[in-house]
Amino acid sequence: MKVDSVSLDEHCLKILSALQHDGRQTVQQISEAVGLSPTPCWKRIKDMEAAGVIRGYTALIDPELVGLHVSAVAEVNLDRHSEAMVQRFEEAVAASPQIIHCVSATGPADYILNVTVPDMKHYERFLHEVLFSLPGVTHVRSSIVLREIKSQVALPLGHLTGAKSGAVPSRR
């Protein structure tokens, strides 16, 4: 299957699935899981890295266990949408370690940010010292996360294999 000029065969999709499940696996472990010998498995991984399909590897850290007890979703509006203003805003967001995710969105907010801080005092300080001072910001609406229901970084790849996506599990 060719997706945006990158050829992904069944083995590549299995490799991606295995890496999303555990990125610390050895090439030997992955090759056994996907039914390839190590050399072609390693080559597929390197090709997908070079093509940008695999963007990197990281460790998932429990925020509570490192003292980050408050997570907030901030909806942000800008006063102007000139190229220069948007670029300055996005550069400032990228430089802020408390903002762990940011998307440009349609709807009532121009941007939706996920912010993680130690406590509410830190969030208030973040709002005043960082968010309200970002270029072009005119409005911020915050929602504090009470409980995380689902958090996953693995992408759903079923559409590439023909598997049904979006299926709702039956309740018995």
Q: How far apart are the first and last CA of the chain?
A: 36
Task: Tell me the per-residue pLDDT of 124-152, one tens digit each, with 9 for 90 and over.
Answer: 999 999 999 988 999 999 999 999 999 88
Token pair in block for residue 147: 């409980």
Model confidence at 168: pLDDT above 50 = no
Model confidence at 83: pLDDT above 90 = yes
pTM as predicted: 0.81
Confidence of residue 7 (pLDDT cuts 50, 70, 90): confident
pLDDT of 159: 86
Task: Tell me the per-residue pLDDT of 9-60, one tens digit each, with 9 for 90 and over.
Answer: 999 999 999 999 999 999 999 999 999 999 999 999 999 999 999 999 999 9
Task: Tell me the per-residue pLDDT of 103-125, one tens digit each, with 9 for 90 and over.
Answer: 999 999 999 999 999 999 999 99
DSSP labels for the chain?
-EETTEE--HHHHHHHHHHHH-TT--HHHHHHHHT--HHHHHHHHHHHHHTTSS--------TGGGT--EEEEEEEEES---HHHHHHHHHHHHT-TTEEEEEE-SSS-SEEEEEEESSHHHHHHHHHHTGGGSTTEEEEEEEE---------PPP-HHHHT---SPPPP--
Q: Which residue has the higher pLDDT, 136 or 4?
A: 136
pLDDT of 163: 64
